[in-house]
Chain A
Amino acid sequence: MSAIEWGYSVLPARTMDLDRNDLGPVREMLEEMPQFGACIACGGCTATCTAGNLTSFNFRRVHTLVRRGEYTGAWAEMNKCMLCGKCRLVCPRGINTRGVVRLIKRKLGDY
């Protein structure tokens, strides 16, 4: 018997639950690269990003989500980055943003 089609479904919760999220990987990242923690979410990196202007890639949003332990899709998103380094030129906190891309890809390959 096929499942009944009710015409609606239950959406996954959108709330980020910091008690449940595994903050281990992001803690490791911050330990390895403390300057990643200095981001003030100004969005300069996203504004200048060529990839972000042509695709849905939002570097600032993805790495902010990573800070909260929301890793799903982060690795795939980071694959859109061309490592051109423009973001690093604009970051007011002097963060090695390209390094952040590489760090996320290295640490979150499983997500």
Chain B
Amino acid sequence: MKKIIVVGGGPAGMQAALSLVAEGLKPVIVERSGALGGKLRDWHNLFPSMTPAHEVLEGMTKQMENAGVEVMLHTEVEGLTDGGVLLMEGKKLEGEAVIVASGFDIFDARLKEEYGYHIYDNVFTTVDVERMLNKGEVALHDGSAPHGIAFVHCVGSRDEKVNQKHCSKVCCITGVKQAMEMRQLFPDAEIYNFYMDIRMFGPGYEELYQSAQQDFGVNFIRGRVSEASPTIDGRLQIKAEDTLVGRPLKMTVDMLVLIVGMKASSSNEKYALPLSSSGFLTPRDLFSGAVSSDLPNVFYAGTATAPKTIGESICEGSMAAEKVSEYLKSRK
């Protein structure tokens, strides 16, 4: 039996492999990093239920071990071939079908220079905050506790200045979640979220947002932060328009958290398949063909095609496996 190649071992790729096994097929996951899990390995507690990320990851890896899924680590896919994929150093891997589940990249916040990431000490991204939460060390650069914290929504999303027109979808809820986590860690801090629109699309999200406002005392201000500048005492002054009252606003905070967006993966360009204006792979259609590509033997799963949650990415993993099985039967 020839193999089914799964490119990427994040949540989407792991579920694709598990479902392929359930379909009686033989998957091989090709993963460029040294471990399975994708971004899940970096996250702390997951919205909306605050389930620890490691619980979800361990659950899936255990299933993978039981199913005996073959995994090639430290192996990067460089492109598609007629009957499989191209690996590093011109090596080829043959497969009857390919599921592309190579995920997304994190937007590089340094490109929004006006916010001072990697210029001022106390500017962080939501990714940094997840890592600090995992270490149990959320603090300012000098180890002290912040008194004023501001979150900036849409950093690297909905922004033509950095060529990212799309909405990254999961970052509003991530910002709400982290603001609530900050409140738990620093009960006396003032917390502000600066947003352009609040997009709460998922189950329980709007409720979480309301709870952040009402029970956790998080202040939401509609307006895009234009810049951050250092003050003489080493804090950060930010400026925005409070568009709900139509007046400019300024304030000083100790900690600035940039809510970074989901950027199309740089891997997407390797496949020579159609891409959207933001660089995500375009599925055949957005309804029943959401995991199908323009090629009959290539399928998509997860954030390779658009920003998605973990649950949505996992669903697509299963769906792609089912489509592979249908494709193989149709050839007989």
Contacts and interface: CB of A to CB of B under 8 A. Distances in A.
A93 B250 contact: no
A19 B219 CA distance: 15
B245 A93 contact: no
Interface string B233-260: 0000000001011011111100000000
Interface residues of A, number: 22
B250 A16 contact: yes
Contact of A15 (B198, B222, B244, B250): B250
A72 B219 CA distance: 21
B330 interface: no
Contacts, number: 50
Nearest to A34: B214
Question: Which of A15, A23, A65 has most chain B Cβ within 10 Å?
Answer: A15
A40 B250 CA distance: 21
A14 B217 CA distance: 26
B247 A15 contact: yes
B215 interface: yes
A38 B213 CA distance: 5
B215 to A, nearest CB: 7
B99 to A, nearest CB: 40
Interface of B: 190, 198, 210, 213-215, 217, 219, 222, 242, 244-245, 247-252
Interface of A: 14-19, 23, 30, 34-35, 37-41, 61, 64-65, 67-68, 70, 93
25 contacts: A15-B248, A16-B242, A16-B245, A16-B247, A16-B248, A17-B251, A18-B249, A18-B250, A19-B250, A19-B252, A30-B217, A34-B217, A37-B219, A38-B210, A38-B213, A38-B214, A39-B213, A40-B198, A41-B222, A41-B244, A61-B245, A64-B244, A68-B245, A70-B245, A93-B210
